[in-house]
C-alpha cells in the first residue's frame, strides 16, 4: 500500500489516495490538525482506541493527549467544555459516539453553542464541530441507529451538514473545522468501512463549497433528493429506474442547514416531480421543510405532490425490523411510480 500523501508536493499536479469514507474522515481530520494547532479532537474513546469506529485512529499517537482527548463519559461535558475551549481560542472537534447519545448534550448545543454568537452580537464565536455517526442499517441495539439531524436544522445558530461519500468526507470535515460557526457533522456510519465506497480522493483538488447541494446524477423524469446514507439508496434507485427507461435526477443535499435548494428548484422546474428520501421520521422534519419550500417556489411546475420516503414515525425499531423501517430502493421506486401516475 502506498504511503498516504497528505500535502501536495511542489510541482505535483495531483495526489490521490484510495480511501473508504471512514479513512477519508480520518485523513481529513489529520490534515486539519496539521494545518492549525488550535484544532483539538475530543470524545469518548477517541484517543488510544481511535474511536469505536476508528475514525480518529492514530491521531492521539501523532498529536498527543492534549490535542486528542479521551474525555469522561459525559456528553453534556464534551459539548459544554468544548464551548469553553472555543471561547479560549481552540477549534474543538467533538465526537458523539452514537447518534442516540447526543441528547445529554442537547441542552449545551441548543442553549450555548447555538446562541452565544447571537447573544453577544457577534463578539463571541463558537467554531466547533460536533461529529455524529448517524443512521441505521448496522443491526445495532436501541439508540445506535437514529437520525436526529432535524432537531439541529430546526435550531437557529447551528449549521448542519452530512457527507455521503469519501471525497466529501475528506473535504467537508476540513471545511467544517475552518468554519467560524458551530457545525453538526452527520456521518453515514453504515458506510464507514464499506469497500464499495472506496474512492480515489485527490487531496490537491479544490473542493466544492461546504454549504452547497450537488446534482450527483442528471436526469429528466423525476427528481430525487437525499443526503447522508440515503444518497446511495437514491443512486441505486436511479440505476434501477434507468432499466425501465426512467431518468431520475439525484441531488445530494450535503448541507442540511442552511439548505441549498436552488439546484432542487431548478431540477423540479424541469421534471415537475420530487421524491425526498431520508431515514429520519417524516413528521416536522427536514423532508417536510423541503416539501414546503418546493411547493412555495415551484408551485406551477409541479405535476404531482412532493412525496417523501422516510423512516416511520416510530421509535427506531429492533434491528430485525430495520430493513422494513429504512427507505430502500423499492420504496423509492414505488414513490417515483406514484408521482408519475398522479
Partner 1 sequence: MSSPEQWTHPEPREGPAATAAAPTAEQVIAGLRATSEGGPELVQLLTPEGERLENPEFDRYVADVTAEDLRSLYRDMVLVRRADREANALQRQGQLGIWVPLLGQEAAQIGSGRALRDTDMVFPSYREHGVAWCRGISPKEILGIFRGTDHGSWDSNAKRFHPYTIVIGNQVLNAAGYAMGQRFEGKVGDGDSEATMVFFGDGATSQGDVHEGFVWAAVYDAPLVFFCQNNQWAISEPTERQSRLPLYHRARGYGFPGIRVDGNDVLATLAVSRWALDECRHGNGPVLIEAFTYRMDAHTTTDDPTRYRHSDELEAWKLKDPIERVRVHLVRHEHADQDFFDSVQADADELAADLREFCFNMPHPPVNQMFDHVYAEASPFVDAQRDEFLAYQANFAGGEH
72 touches partner 1 by CB under 8 A: yes
Q: How far is the CB of 81 from partner 1 (least distance, A)?
A: 3
Rounded CA separation 62/18 (Å): 22
112 binds partner 1 (CB under 8 A): yes
In the complex, least distance from residue 259 CB atom to partner 1, rounded to whole angstroms: 7
Q: Alpha-carbon torsion 152, 192, 95, 211, what sign?
A: negative
* Interface with partner 1, residue 118, by CB under 8 A: yes
Instruction: Give the residue with the Cβ less far from partner 1, 61 or 119.
Output: 119
Which of the residues 66, 144, 154, 193 is marked catalytic?
Answer: 144
296 belongs to the binding site for partner 1 (CB under 8 A)? no
Q: Rounded distance, CA 322 to CA 30, Å? A: 34
Q: Does residue 82 bind partner 1 (CB under 8 A)?
A: yes
66 binds partner 1 (CB under 8 A): yes
The Cα-based distances of 232 to 168, 251, 329 in angstroms read: 14, 11, 9
How many Cα atoms are found within 13 Å in the side-chain-facing hemisphere of 207?
22
Q: In the numeric block, which cell numbers belong to residue 261?
A: 435548494
* 77 belongs to the binding site for partner 1 (CB under 8 A): yes
Question: What is d(CA 189, CA 201) in angstroms, rounded to the nearest whole number?
Answer: 19
259: which DSSP letter? B
Among 260, 268, 71, 288, which residue's Cα sits nearest to residue 162? 260
Query: Grid coordinates standing for 165?
Result: 461519500
Q: Which stretch binds partner 1 (CB under 8 A): 23-31, 53-61, 75-83, 241-249?
A: 75-83
Q: Is 193 a catalytic residue?
A: no
List, by residue number, the catalytic residues. Answer: 144
Binding site for partner 1 (CB under 8 A): 40, 66, 71-72, 74, 76-77, 79-90, 104, 107-108, 111-112, 116-125, 127, 156-157, 159, 179-181, 257-260
Amino acid at each position: 500500500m502506498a504511503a498516504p500523501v497528505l500535502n501536495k508536493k511542489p510541482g505535483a499536479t495531483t495526489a490521490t489516495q484510495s480511501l473508504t469514507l471512514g479513512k477519508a474522515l480520518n485523513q481529513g481530520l489529520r490534515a486539519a490538525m496539521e494545518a492549525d494547532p488550535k484544532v483539538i479532537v475530543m470524545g469518548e474513546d477517541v484517543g488510544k482506541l481511535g474511536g469505536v469506529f476508528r475514525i480518529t485512529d492514530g491521531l492521539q499517537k501523532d498529536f498527543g493527549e492534549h490535542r486528542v482527548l479521551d474525555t469522561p463519559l459525559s456528553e453534556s461535558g464534551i459539548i459544554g467544555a468544548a464551548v469553553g475551549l472555543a471561547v479560549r481560542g481552540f477549534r474543538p472537534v467533538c465526537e458523539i459516539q452514537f447518534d442516540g447519545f447526543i441528547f445529554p448534550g442537547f441542552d449545551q448545543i441548543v442553549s450555548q453553542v447555538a446562541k452565544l454568537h447571537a447573544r453577544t452580537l457577534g463578539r463571541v464565536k463558537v467554531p466547533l464541530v460536533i461529529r455524529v455517526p448517524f443512521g441505521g442499517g448496522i443491526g445495532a441495539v436501541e439508540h445506535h441507529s437514529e437520525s436526529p439531524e432535524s432537531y439541529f436544522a430546526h435550531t437557529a445558530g447551528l449549521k448542519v451538514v452530512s457527507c455521503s461519500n469519501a471525497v466529501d468526507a475528506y473535504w467537508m470535515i476540513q471545511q467544517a473545522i475552518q468554519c467560524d460557526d458551530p457545525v453538526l457533522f452527520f456521518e453515514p456510519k453504515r458506510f464507514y468501512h464499506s469497500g464499495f465506497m472506496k474512492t480515489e480522493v485527490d487531496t490537491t483538488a479544490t473542493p466544492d463549497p461546504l454549504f452547497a447541494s450537488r446534482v450527483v446524477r442528471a436526469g429528466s423524469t423525476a427528481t430525487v433528493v437525499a443526503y447522508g446514507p440515503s444518497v446511495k439508496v437514491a443512486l441505486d434507485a436511479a440505476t434501477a429506474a434507468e432499466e425501465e427507461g426512467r431518468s431520475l435526477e439525484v441531488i445530494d443535499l450535503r448541507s442540511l442547514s442552511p439548505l441549498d435548494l436552488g439546484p432542487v428548484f431548478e431540477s423540479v422546474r424541469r421534471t415537475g416531480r420530487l421524491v425526498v428520501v431520508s431515514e429520519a421520521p417524516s413528521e416536522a422534519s427536514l423532508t417536510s421543510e423541503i416539501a414546503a419550500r418546493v411547493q412555495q417556489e415551484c408551485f406551477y411546475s409541479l405535476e404531482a405532490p412532493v412525496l417523501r420516503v422516510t423512516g416511520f414515525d416510530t421509535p427506531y425499531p429492533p434491528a430485525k425490523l430495520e430493513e422494513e423501517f429504512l427507505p430502500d430502493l423499492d420504496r423509492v421506486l414505488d414513490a417515483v411510480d406514484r408521482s408519475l401516475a398522479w
